[in-house]
Chain A
Amino acid sequence: MRARRTSGIVRPKGLRSTLMRALLFAVLGLFCLYYLVPLVVMVSTSLKTLAEIREGTLLSLPRAISFEAWAKAWDSACVGVRCDGLRPFMWNSIAMAVPAVLLSTALGAINGYALTKWRFPGADWIFALILFGAFIPFQVILLPMARTLGLLNLAGTVPGLILVHTVYGLAFTTLFFRNFFVGVSNGIVQAAQVDGAGFFGIFFRIVLPMSIPAIVVTVIWQFTQIWNDFLFGVAFTVGDSNPVTVALNNIVNTSTGVKEYNVDMAAAIIAALPTMLVYVVAGAYFVRGLSAGAVKG
């Protein structure tokens, strides 16, 4: 992917400096271990059988690797009275997250473009108000939103949840794109105007192709937020339309039968996999996108 860089690496000189270096790495290693232990416990527990969990300790590694818990978590664990595992709820989450991410990103891009390149009286006020939305605690809007969804006949449905996430994602997506477009030269938009392109012509043909880094950052951010959301999911959906986060909670918090830790762990990892996947695929862009204002023509 990229060449290994060795220039600029500080090498220790002398005994004292070498010792300090060793100490530094020891401390860093300890933190690293501390940070990783929960994940290790989750993965190893999910691969054990229930009997082994009962006999062994939390930290002991599985004697024989078994994927039974994963299979059960995926399609036969009981969520409430329904025993189809997480699978149907994963599809709910995908059906909700993908349109919500695409919609909020697209609208945020148009907002940011209009607020920076087609300035109108009061643009700063509108931006301030949109930005204010980023600081509203979501608990505050639960009741009015529930009423709104009821009036729109979207209560308890996946489209209703898409609407909620799109609306409340706009504050962040608009902020990301506005800050990106502020760094794009106005001359480019003016040149395109003289060249004969209009508002959407310039947006789709000139500005949007330039904003790939901003799009990637926004998509990662929005996907992580929307996929991991629990509050809106639990408040605005019922039973079969629950997103995976709510279903996971229902699996883990069940009060009947034996507590199946291996299934719980496997279910938690399954529910977290898509966001990890998105980060692995687009992570390099994410880091680059944070300094995206530096992209020059």
Chain B
Amino acid sequence: MASGISLRNVRKSFGATEVIKDIDLDIDPGEFVVLVGPSGCGKSTLLNLISGLETLTGGEVLIGGNRVNDVPPRDRDIAMVFQSYALYPTKTVHQNITFGLQTRRIPKDQQEEAVAEFSRLLQIDHLLHRKPGQLSGGQRQRVAMGRALVRKPAVFLFDEPLSNLDAKLRIEMRTEIKKLHQRLGKTVVYVTHDQIEAMTLASRIAVMDNGHIRQFGPPEEIYENPVDLFVAGFIGSPPMNMLPGRIRHGEGRVAVDVGEDLHFVLPSKLSEGLSVAEGHEVVLGLRPETIFAAGTELPGPDRFLFERPVEVVEPTGPDTMIVFEIGEVEVIARVRPEDARPPGTPFSFEADMSKAKLFDAKTGRAF
């Protein structure tokens, strides 16, 4: 059984510092929710409030519809995977996995059944008699997952489980976690600071900053329609280009003047209903993939052409990043490798303005 989780007006302070500031969040049963944000944003604390390892300063936590504010972690029907794996070093893999079953006095034969089932699933059945010290990082990670899975809880909590693995293993394990979720269908709350992990795993992402949830929605929505500059800048790699400028009205259209005689004309879906005065300070957001070499994509409406000299060329394999400057701001464009030109040469760029985002420079909110 998967359970939903609800947080109502959740607050947490450590002494005088408020770490979680009045958070409301509803997680549906079977969902994979990723809490993402920079370090110190409160995401791990929020996870510990759900697990019960930290006590609430205010508000309510509900798991499966039951208020669990005063329920200790062991009775919340949850399992947790820690960043450092937190395996018991003096116990064998088998003992590590069954510890939670032993404390709950599950009969021996059921324990063995569960161990057999999940150790096969996680491919650790040949390691059962080793101690954690004799395992590699990836194997420890699997054991930590096995220890969580074997109790068949309603909710899984993951606290940056992949951040101690090397890059290749991290991608492998990411896929495995997603597979496991699809197979078991349990509710997952997953904390990470890696926005790619968040994008690839989540059914919904909660972007956190400074004790608040800035935006909560499916990955595509977070990527395509960030509510403010923080979310826009945090999600996406390389990050979204942010061009500060001023609004210019004229000839039945609205443009953003970013200096150097460049007036990015806004598409009608952005300019219609936009009621801001001439000269209003805004930030124009353009993702790197929406700026490319002129004429290399099929023509479409709302394209804006401009020329800049190339500053830096960064090949990544499938694409090449071209860094150039507008005013003081460095801008990254993603072009096909064959379109790249050496630094110093003038380059014709084409921006797909239909995908541009516009933010208020003062409040940071999206229009």
Q: Which residues of A does B touch, CB under 8 Å?
A: 185, 187-188, 190-197, 201, 205-206, 209-210, 295-297
Contacts and interface: CB of A to CB of B under 8 A. Distances in A.
A295 B79 CA distance: 26
A84 to B, nearest CB: 46
Given A187-B82, A192-B99, A210-B88, 15 more contacts: A187-B84, A187-B85, A191-B86, A192-B88, A193-B53, A194-B73, A195-B100, A195-B147, A195-B151, A196-B104, A197-B103, A206-B88, A206-B91, A296-B89, A297-B87
A185 B90 contact: no
B45 to A, nearest CB: 13
Contacts of B103: 195-197, 201
Given A190-B53, A194-B78, A210-B90, A185 B84 contact: yes
B51 interface: yes
B83 interface: yes
Contact of A196 (B87, B90, B100): B100
Contact of B74 (A187, A195, A210, A296): A195
Contacts of B82: 187, 190-191
Given A185-B86, A187-B86, A296-B89, A194 B53 contact: yes
Interface residues of B, number: 26
Interface string B83-126: 11111111100000001100110000000000000000000000
Nearest to A205: B99
A269 to B, nearest CB: 39
Contacts of B86: 185, 187-188, 190-191, 297
A201 B72 CA distance: 15
A193 B90 contact: no
B332 interface: no
Per CB-CB distance, the 7 closest pairs between chain A and chain B, nearest first, are A187-B86, A297-B89, A195-B100, A196-B103, A196-B74, A209-B90, A191-B86
Interface string B54-92: 000000000000000000111000111011111111110
9 contacts: A187-B83, A187-B86, A193-B74, A194-B79, A195-B74, A201-B103, A297-B85, A297-B87, A297-B132
A210 B86 CA distance: 13
B327 interface: no
Nearest to B98: A195
Interface string B127-140: 00000110000000
Contacts of B89: 188, 210, 295-297
Contacts of B84: 185, 187
A210 B133 CA distance: 12
A206 B85 CA distance: 15
B42 to A, nearest CB: 17
B99 A195 contact: yes
Contacts of A295: 89
B50 to A, nearest CB: 11
Interface string B4-33: 000000000000000000000000000000
Contacts of A201: 103
Given A195-B103, A296-B89, A297-B88, A190 B133 contact: no
B90 to A, nearest CB: 4
A210 B131 CA distance: 12
A197 B99 CA distance: 9
Contacts of B53: 190, 193-194
Contacts of A187: 82-86
A191 B90 contact: no
Contacts of B74: 193-197
A219 to B, nearest CB: 18
A17 B85 CA distance: 52
Contacts of B78: 194
Candidate in B88, B100, B133 with the most chain A CB atoms within 10 angstroms? B88
Nearest to A211: B90
A296 B53 CA distance: 23
Nearest to A195: B100
B64 to A, nearest CB: 17
A188 B82 CA distance: 9
B233 to A, nearest CB: 31
Nearest to B54: A190
A205 B95 CA distance: 11
A281 B73 CA distance: 43
Contacts of B83: 187
B133 A297 contact: yes
A279 B52 CA distance: 45
B73 A193 contact: yes
Contacts of A190: 53, 73, 80, 82, 86
A196 B104 CA distance: 7
Contacts of B151: 195
Nearest to A295: B89
B91 to A, nearest CB: 8
A296 B87 CA distance: 10
A194 B147 CA distance: 11
B75 to A, nearest CB: 8
A191 B73 CA distance: 10
A187 B82 CA distance: 7
Contacts of A196: 74, 100, 103-104
Nearest to A186: B86
Contacts of A195: 74, 99-100, 103, 147, 151
B150 to A, nearest CB: 10
Contacts of B100: 194-196
A205 B74 CA distance: 16
Nearest to B74: A196
A210 B85 CA distance: 16
Nearest to B95: A205
A205 B89 CA distance: 11
A202 to B, nearest CB: 10
Nearest to A188: B86
